[in-house]
Structure 1
């Protein structure tokens, strides 16, 4: 008998249900907020589709409210949303609202990237989509790309990558790829900001072993999004033995932001420690939000800890440390 849509194969709560006929039901992040001008911040946004032909990949561009200078340029932030590689898009209200607030606070022009998601599109597809979108973005660096907002308002001397959770994982892996001299990246990434980054590994570290149920839940995710990958693949465990050295990271500055009650916290700290001891020649800093859970800031933009996290990001994106030319 053929499988029907209501025959459940498995569930990964609270993200998805997968049915035996291959249908995937996403349980969160399915709402869609259209682009436009945000009445609270004055930030305007627009979608650009067909970034990668014949795929669902698109970007949403956010521009802060302009002064009288219509040719004003801003630091460029390329942002990658989280959701365990399974859920959310730049159109999800939780990310659209966050990017409006972040762009207003930081005075950056932001490009929020949507990549194809697992399980229909397992890794490395999300990495490949993100890299292709990044290449499309930097095609504007000479002022002659296909999107006028980036041609006129993006300062390609100040390029930053940032993302939360799975998006932070993507940012790290893109920065590692950009550090390869053969990658063809013809500009410098000034900095990357990893917010509650999704890193993991086979052997528990720090407090991970204190909550076996929570650890088991995280253990299930990586085989779901990357079935062909071992538990300590450098994509998920950037400090794994035998993997590429963090000294190859292709940026000048790194900010790691973690939350005290997040099960992923110790991986963020380990990343910071290993990077600090490596031969990488940049500057790295870390901040921990006391008493907070994973990606708490997305759920209450007005709480003081969320505001503090945003202020730190804004300061990071607006450093006067320009590349040497």
Structure 2
């Protein structure tokens, strides 16, 4: 029988071992394999340690824009934040464009309640006079691709299939003939993949919902062979971007040439299959992923037989990736919002 002291030591060791497993504590047998400080660490055993809790901004009336917002659920697993701009009672129609918006953050950080996301969408809803549904998809690396695509697809189906008994703000004010998909960075990637799915499956038409267009802001596209803008990026940033897809989609056998992150890779389906008739692609001059956005636009407009009517390219001079999140009150952010608003009209 163990002595009281030996039993105490054994219990202490067991507790330490348990805590190590719960928190993802690094050890020689379980080293950190992905360091995305100051946000999170990923360990060899797949465990994830979030280094800080993300700030959360409650929904409600924004005094700066008079845009109202509230949190809803589009399914048992997926929530969303909906934004309603002031309604112009003197307008010929109170029906507004509806934007399904997918946030950025490398699929890994932020939420619909993150301050920079919330502020960005308040401003966009006000300038564009659109209802925005910000889908709060599950985050990687705790949830691997394709969970995020499936969450966003489910939200799109939810909007499409609830025409008669939708959330009141949608029922009363949304124009279902003017539904757009929009997103920044990882969200832009989601927009592309959902539009391809709409084109190949045609599920949305079965719900009589018209996908009027897509808006891609600094979309996250990557590949094995680096472009000039990627090579010119800060080496630390480039390394993290280069290993991002392998971390969030470890089951992929194609790595950075997976068709979901490199839509121009060998064997990728033609962009002619995109299930939208209008597109606005927005880039930033200093963005590491700028070249891929331009290649995507070139492939769509000159290298495919896309049946769309409008493809527009807008570039923010002198700006870096997602500048509109970091500088919401800048002149270039105001210009970008105005450009999006013009596209929606």
For the residue of structure 2 that corresponds to 1:41, the secondary structure is coil
The one of 301, 305, 311 aligned to 1:279: 305
The one of 84, 87, 91 aligned to 1:63: 84
C-alpha displacement at 1:27, in angstroms? 4.4
The CA RMSD measured in Å over matched residues stands at: 1.9
TM-score by length of 1: 0.90
- 1:227 and 2:250 matched: yes
The number of residues matched between the two structures is 312
- 1:269 and 2:294 matched: yes
The one of 123, 136, 145 aligned to 1:114: 136
Check conservation: 1:26, 1:87, Cα contact below 8 A: no
Distance of 1:227 and 1:148 partners within structure 2: 40
For the residue of structure 1 that corresponds to 2:260, the secondary structure is coil
Counterpart in the other structure of 1:12 = 36
Distance of 2:189 and 2:263 partners within structure 1: 9
C-alpha displacement at 1:22, in angstroms? 2.3
Cα distance change on mapping 1:25 and 1:305 into 2, 3 Å = same
C-alpha displacement at 1:215, in angstroms? 2.6
Cα offsets for 1:150-197 (capped at 9, x unmatched): 111100111111000000000110011011244344322111110000
- Misfit runs of 4+, over 6 Å: none
Cα offsets for 1:296-319 (capped at 9, x unmatched): 11111111111111111111112x
Check conservation: 1:80, 1:162, Cα contact below 8 A: yes
- Larger mean Cα displacement after TM superposition, 183-192 or 260-269: 183-192
- Larger mean Cα displacement after TM superposition, 176-185 or 19-28: 19-28
Distance of 1:169 and 1:177 partners within structure 2: 13
Q: Please list every run of 5 or more consecutive structure 1 residues that lacks an aligned counterpart in the other structure.
A: 319-325
For the pair shown, the structure with the greater C-alpha radius of gyration is 2
Cα offsets for 1:272-302 (capped at 9, x unmatched): 0000121002121111111111101111111
- 1:44 and 2:71 matched: no
Distance of 2:168 and 2:320 partners within structure 1: 39
Distance of 1:248 and 1:181 partners within structure 2: 10
Counterpart in the other structure of 2:101 = 79
C-alpha displacement at 1:98, in angstroms? 0.9
Distance of 2:203 and 2:37 partners within structure 1: 37
For the residue of structure 2 that corresponds to 1:127, the secondary structure is helix
C-alpha displacement at 1:209, in angstroms? 2.3
The one of 126, 130, 139 aligned to 1:104: 126
Cα distance change on mapping 1:21 and 1:111 into 2, 3 Å = closer
Counterpart in the other structure of 1:322 = none
Distance of 1:27 and 1:219 partners within structure 2: 24
Distance of 1:6 and 1:271 partners within structure 2: 39
Check conservation: 1:17, 1:27, Cα contact below 8 A: no
C-alpha displacement at 1:205, in angstroms? 1.9
Cα offsets for 1:110-169 (capped at 9, x unmatched): 10101011111100000000000111111233xx12411111110011111100000000
Residue pairs, 1:236-247, within 5 angstroms: 236-247=261-272
Distance of 1:7 and 1:181 partners within structure 2: 44
Check conservation: 1:140, 1:150, Cα contact below 8 A: no
Check conservation: 1:261, 1:292, Cα contact below 8 A: yes
Distance of 1:152 and 1:108 partners within structure 2: 13
